[in-house]
DNA sequence: CTGAAAGCGCTAACAT
DNA sequence: ATGTTAGCGCTTTCAG
């Protein structure tokens, strides 16, 4: 591994000049610059990131904290964030929270010592701001860049990049109602999830718009995974609840609901229409194909990169969603 | 951020002693150790990873290079690898290869300067060993730990942790044949994928065992994604090919095949049985539920961690697979 | 058992 | 425009 000193010697300049050429800061004569550059190439020099980090006070990796990388929403996000960060010379340190608040705190606690340039928090779990808030502020005070993805924390001073939630759900449910698919049930996580509540509110708003009262028996509060969707829907079906559509809080849930409906011999969408939320990969390939609400991880990643690149960016960015009409509704 | 010097001062010892206590290397008197430890707690000291890395010559993060994090196989693997590495004090730097050989080379090239402790290569794409081989050896020469996941590179001197491929496929196809589901088609990537060929060979072996000749029209060489499976199967169906089962090289492909079959009004598994490969998350929730071949990311991660922990581990570990019988076959 | 001191590779004042 | 130099925080000989 060649060092700046090797480059400096070969180019016949001092290490300071090498550093200046490489960083682009400070004035360097054309002749010297040329020689440095060719020495860099000749030695295949790559600056040692740890030394740079030690000197600068922070490294060149951003910590991405995701709720659960195994869920497609997060893996798709991760992919785009990694690409976007790579574009501005930043690496990605991945931390899987596994939806654990304790783990989140531990990681936040260790972030400065880790040499992270910043932290991107991507979880929709409701955060205990009493403990997380101070930690986040502490990080910012240490000079770390902090960004929230999917959850609005801009009031807490954390720039946030989120998707539209309530209005998107509202439009989807309105579509169901207009298509004569009522009564419409809601399947999703109401508490514990920062976005779950918003989505439910969109459902409630759409019913309100249509002058329909909310039927508590048609609102199922569950976790986000497949099994939860399957069970809740099965229970409702077996209990003889009357509904002709289900708006789900996630695609996983929607798939679970579809399985429950199909297992009981009902047809989708004729007997029961289903709309998911999140447009994960396989939704279009299931039969019937899942009608769902879009996500735009690339747009999110682009905005997140803006923040880490130090580019001007709004404290709150809201990415729009659209209804993806496919076979299930 | 407290430094070793702060701790040393508070404990009334030298920084060397603090370092010795923290690393557990070297002898330290009981009294001194106690004082250091309580000083560490009092100051909430956490060693600066970049300084440690600079001094030691390498950092404490492992680079995980995955083919495509958005594919469930890789995200599940990543999750477990991150957990396992965390257990031995290592962080995870994620690099998404996007199946690009060029990107792989770039990352491998930069790895030492990045301060990585090691690199875990998780891709089943066929590697151009002429260029990748030397790079890998170069990394090892620089003291980086290198492990291959999913692809056998132990002959190249890279310890590998892989799943059973050929024999697992062979058993699955044999099961199809024994259940009277023949003729059996094979849908998967034959070239370009290091495991695709192996899986196909398992298929071929099972046919051979049953004394059946391979019908080239029933072997579809495609990429790994949904769409490819859908199209290949549609084409075969529309061309009037005769087969009553499809062994697929991946679950994504299987889902595509199922959609094609269902779209043409055929029943699964009665008209055509389908077996996937890989047991990704949603397979059990589709209808009919996908019969597939298991994966064990936790087992893989555990072995990978063994390598990075410097624990004794075999040059080649093969994780067994089992047939997961569900509804589609 | 413990301390002093050198130095990992780099950057940023500070000189010139 | 360019060089000199002082560390960033830590580990590790080398002395004692």
Q: How high is the pLDDT of residue A287?
A: 87
Q: How confident is the model at residue B286 (pLDDT cuts 50, 70, 90)?
A: confident
Which contacts qualify for B315-320: CB closer than 8 Å, 24 or more apart?
Answer: B315/B154, B315/B159, B315/B160, B316/B152, B316/B154, B316/B159, B316/B160, B316/B162, B317/B160, B317/B161, B317/B162, B318/B162, B318/B163, B318/B164, B319/B161, B319/B162, B319/B163, B319/B164, B320/B163, B320/B164, B320/B168, B320/B296
pLDDT, greater one: B225 or A206: A206
Residues A267-277: what's their mean pLDDT?
A: 96
**What chain A residue is nearest to B96 in terms of C-alpha separation?**
A79
Average confidence (pLDDT) over A75-101? 97
Which tokens is A36 given?
């440095």
The answer to whether the beta carbon of residue A55 comes closer than 7 angstroms to any atom of strand C is yes
pLDDT at B41: 97
Residue A71 per-residue DSSP state: S
Beta-carbon contacts of residue A290 (< 8 Å; ≥ 6 apart): A251, A254, A255, A258, A274, A275, A276, A283, A284, A326, A327, A328
Closest-lying nucleotide for A52 based on CA to C1': C10
Please tell us whether the domain made up of A166-293 is placed in CATH 3.40.140.10.
Answer: no
d(CA B197, CA B295): 18
A25-48 pLDDT per residue, tens: 889 999 999 999 999 999 999 999
> Hey, do A4-47 and A58-164+297-321 end up sharing a CATH topology, with the first three levels equal?
no
pLDDT confidence of residue B113 = 96
The residues that bridge with A317 in the sheet, in sequence order, are: A161
Which pLDDT value is given to residue B227?
A: 87
The domain defined by A58-164+297-321 folds into Rossmann fold (3.40.50)
- pLDDT bucket at B224, cuts 50 / 70 / 90: confident
Q: Are A218 and A176 in contact (CB under 8 A)?
A: no
Over residues B36-53, mean pLDDT: 97
pLDDT tier at A323, thresholds 50, 70, 90 = very high
Alpha helices in A67-225 (DSSP H): 72-87, 101-114, 129-141, 166-178, 194-209
pLDDT level of residue B87 (50, 70, 90 thresholds): very high
Which pLDDT score, from 0 to 100, does residue B9 have?
96
What crossing angle do the helices spanning B4-11 and B15-23 adopt, rounded to 10°? 100
Residues of A in contact with B110 (CB under 8 A): 46
pLDDT at B170 over 80: yes
* A225-229, B108-112, B159-163: the lowest-pLDDT one: A225-229
**Class of the domain covering A4-47:** mainly alpha
Neighbours of B117 (CB within 10 A): 22
Distance between start and end Cα atoms, chain A: 60
Q: pLDDT (tens digit, 9 = 90+) per residue, B88-106?
A: 999 999 999 999 999 999 9
A294 beta carbon < 7 A from strand C? no
Q: Which of B75, B93, B230 sits opposite A70 (nearest CB)?
A: B75
Strand C positions closer than 7 A to protein CB: 1-13
Q: How would residue B7 be classed by pLDDT, with cut points 50, 70 and 90? A: very high
Q: Using an 8 Å Cβ cutoff, are B233 and B260 in contact? A: yes
Pick from B258, B266, B328: which is nearest to B293 by CA?
Answer: B328
- Cβ contact (<8 Å) for A48 and B259? no
Instruction: Name the minimum distance, in Å, from the CA of A62 to any CA of chain B.
Output: 10
Neighbours of B168 (CB within 10 A): 21
- Give contacts of B79 with chain A, Cβ < 8 Å: 68-70, 96, 98
Contact assignment for A282 to B226 by CB distance below 8 Å: yes
**Considering chain B, what is the average pLDDT of its residues?**
95
Banded pLDDT at B216 (limits 50, 70, 90): very high
Give the pLDDT confidence of A169-186 residue by residue, as tens digits.
Answer: 999 999 999 999 979 999
Mean pLDDT across the stretch B172-177? 98
pLDDT at A281 over 80: no
User: Looking at the predicted structure, is the pLDDT value of residue A227 above 90?
Assistant: no
Q: State the pLDDT at residue A92.
A: 98
Q: Cα Rg for chain B, rounded, in angstroms?
A: 25
In whole angstroms, give the CA distance from residue B213 to residue B234. 23
| Å between CA of A1 and C1' of D7 | 23
Q: Do A255 and B46 lie within an 8 Å CB cutoff?
A: no
For residues A144 and A299, the answer to whether their CB atoms sit within 8 Å is no
- List, in order, residues 6 or more apart from A141 with CB less than 8 Å away: none
Report the percentage of chain A scoring pLDDT > 70: 100
The B 2-41 residues near strand C by Cβ under 7 Å are 12-17, 20, 26-29, 31-33
Average pLDDT (A128-156) is 96
Task: Decide if pLDDT at A214 tops 80.
Answer: yes
Pick the closest to residue A257 from A289, A227, A216 (CA basis).
A227
Rounded mean pLDDT of A307-328? 96
What is the reported pLDDT for A1? 87
The answer to whether the Cβ–Cβ distance between B70 and A281 falls below 8 Å is yes
Do B256 and A230 make contact, defined as CB atoms within 8 angstroms?
A: no
d(CA A239, CA A237): 5
- Residue B73 CA to residue B160 CA, distance in Å, equals 17
Band of pLDDT at residue B310, cut at 50, 70 and 90: very high
| pTM confidence score | 0.95
**Domain extent listing, chain A:** 4-47, 58-164+297-321, 166-293
Q: What is the mean pLDDT of residues A251-257?
A: 93
Please identify which residue in the block is written with the tokens 């590179």: B153
What single-letter DSSP state applies at residue B127? P
Residue A5 CB neighbour total at 10 angstroms = 11
Distance in angstroms (rounded) separating the CA atoms of residues B158 and A66: 31
* Mean pLDDT of all residues belonging to chain A: 95
Contact indicator for B188, B200 with CB cutoff of 8 Å: yes
**CB atoms inside a 10 Å sphere around CB B205:** 17
CB contact under 8 A, A113 and B83: no
Q: Is residue B304's pLDDT more than 80?
A: yes
Q: With beta carbons under 8 A apart, name residues in chain A contacting B76.
A: 70
Nearest to A76 among B70, B263, B282 (CB): B70
Q: pLDDT confidence of B191, banded at 50, 70, 90?
A: confident
Nearest to B230 among A69, A82, A285 (CB): A285
Report the candidate in A178, A171, A146 with the shortest Cα–Cα distance to residue A159. Answer: A146
């Amino acid at each position: 591994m060649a060092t700046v000193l090797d480059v400096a010697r070969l180019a016949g300049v001092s290490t300071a000049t090498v550093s200046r050429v490489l960083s682009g800061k400070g004035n360097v004569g054309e002749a010297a610059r040329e020689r440095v550059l060719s020495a860099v190439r000749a030695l295949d020099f790559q600056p040692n990131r740890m030394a740079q980090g030690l000197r600068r006070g922070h490294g060149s990796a951003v910590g991405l904290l995701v709720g659960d990388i195994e869920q497609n929403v997060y893996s798709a996000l991760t992919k785009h964030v990694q690409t976007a960060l790579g574009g501005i010379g930043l690496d990605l340190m991945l931390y899987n929270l596994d939806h654990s608040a304790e783990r989140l705190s531990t990681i936040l606690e260790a972030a400065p010592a880790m040499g992270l340039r910043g932290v991107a928090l991507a979880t929709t779990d409701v955060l205990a701001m009493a403990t997380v808030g101070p930690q986040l502020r502490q990080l910012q005070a240490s000079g770390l860049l902090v960004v929230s993805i999917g959850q609005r924390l801009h009031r807490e001073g954390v720039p946030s990049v989120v998707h539209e939630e309530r209005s998107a759900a509202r439009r989807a449910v309105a579509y169901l109602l207009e298509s004569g698919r009522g009564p419409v049930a809601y399947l999703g996580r109401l508490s514990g999830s920062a976005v779950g509540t918003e989505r439910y509110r969109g459902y409630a708003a759409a019913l309100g718009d249509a002058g329909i009262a909310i039927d508590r028996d048609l609102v199922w509060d569950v976790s986000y995974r497949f099994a939860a969707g399957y069970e809740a829907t099965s229970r409702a079906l077996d209990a003889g609840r009357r509904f002709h559509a289900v708006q789900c809080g996630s695609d996983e849930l929607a798939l679970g609901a579809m399985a429950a409906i199909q297992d009981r011999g009902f047809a989708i969408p004729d007997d029961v229409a289903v709309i998911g939320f999140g447009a994960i990969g396989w939704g279009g390939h299931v039969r019937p194909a899942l009608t769902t609400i879009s996500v735009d991880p690339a747009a999110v990643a682009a905005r997140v990169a803006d923040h880490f690149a130090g580019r001007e960016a709004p404290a709150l960015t809201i990415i729009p969603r659209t209804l993806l009409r496919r076979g299930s509704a």
